[in-house]
Amino acid sequence: MMNPDLLLAVGLGGIFMSVVIVLGTVGVITAERDQVSRSLKALRSIEGLPTDMREEFDRPFSQRVLVPGRARVVALGRRLTPAGRIEKLRQRLEAAGSPVGWDVERLLAVKVLSAAVGFLLGMVVYLVLGASLLVSIGATAALVLVGFFAADLAIYQKAYNRRDQVRKDLPDALDLLTITVEAGLAFDAALTQVSRNTDGPLSEEFTRVLQEMQIGKSRGEALTAVSQRVDIPELASFVTAVVQADALGIPIATVLRIQAKEMRTKRSQRAEESAMKVPVKILFPLIFCIMPALFVVIMGPAGIGIFRSFTG
């Protein structure tokens, strides 16, 4: 037979659990009712607002906050940047290949935000590191300038790398263009084959030339636009020769053969020039980095032996 004390404990425990469950259920129901009541009150308050304010609340967060904030940042960037500089930024973006999603407005916004980050880092130097006021002001000014012009430097470097890659790819592209023209294709069809069978910035520029010709530009205008965007002497010489041959009726195959030979010669000359610059470029690392280490390794033991000899 079960112990009466155990039965009493089990009964009291069951009663306690029942009370807890009942109270929890009532509390959940009450909380849900309060939540529903608050939601209904919020909806009634929104419905009582004017129509333009209700439309404002219905818009997504990005359209209500992010887009106006971006517009204010871009406006600040335009005020801080001269008008001529904005046009140069647009040209530099085109020289960099017009990266996807990047335009002048986004670049200006990035410049302003980078400057703001530089200012915050300057405040960190003053508040956290405990630097003096003069040092903090100088560091803040330097960081703000670096942040504001960092995007310009990045775009300039991308445009420089792109021009250098075009300069390297141009002789091979002209060889392929010459072969296809001499095989019987027209210049436009040969340009299409080159753009399809190659990759890199030069292929992208040739593809853009074909697209501009399809929308109504003449061949000379499209090629001239390429030489202005890329801005290297080799491509400008090629474009000038093709435009003149088209205007004067000279066979394009002959012009392309001469241009391809000239480009190969210039590439060899650039390689020789780079090789001749190597001794000058290696001079300073040799003097300041390699020679001191050699002196330490070679003269160090001898110096120690001489010192020990004279000191007994």
Residue 1: per-residue pLDDT = 47
pLDDT beyond 80 at 17: no
Average pLDDT, the chain: 77
Domain boundary among 124, 144, 162: 162
pLDDT beyond 70 at 14: no
pLDDT tens profile 151-183: 888 888 888 898 888 888 888 888 888 888 888
Clarify whether residues 132 and 118 are in a common domain: yes
48 within some domain: no
Domain boundary among 96, 131, 162: 162
Residue 2: per-residue pLDDT = 47
Clarify whether residues 188 and 158 are in a common domain: no
Q: How many domains does the chain have?
A: 2
Clarify whether residues 149 and 188 are in a common domain: no
Say if residues 151 and 111 touch (Cβ distance below 8 Å). yes
Tell me the mean pLDDT in the region 261-278: 86
pTM: 0.65
Alpha-carbon distance values, 210 to 176, 204, 214, 217, 242 (Å): 17, 10, 6, 9, 15
124 within some domain: yes
Clarify whether residues 213 and 157 are in a common domain: no
298 within some domain: no
24 within some domain: no
239 within some domain: yes
Clarify whether residues 191 and 243 are in a common domain: yes
What is the residue range of 144's domain?
64-162
CATH for 230: 1.20.81
Clarify whether residues 181 and 144 are in a common domain: no
35 within some domain: no
Clarify whether residues 224 and 264 are in a common domain: yes
Alpha-carbon distance values, 40 to 36, 43, 51, 274 (Å): 6, 5, 19, 76
Alpha-carbon distance values, 72 to 26, 81, 88, 107 (Å): 51, 14, 22, 14
Clarify whether residues 175 and 113 are in a common domain: no
152 within some domain: yes
Clarify whether residues 169 and 227 are in a common domain: yes
Clarify whether residues 256 and 177 are in a common domain: yes
56 within some domain: no
Clarify whether residues 216 and 244 are in a common domain: yes
Domain boundary among 109, 140, 162: 162
pLDDT tens profile 82-109: 777 778 888 888 888 777 777 778 888 8
User: What sign results for the dihedral spanned by CA atoms 196, 198, 200, 206?
Assistant: negative
pLDDT beyond 80 at 273: yes
Clarify whether residues 125 and 209 are in a common domain: no
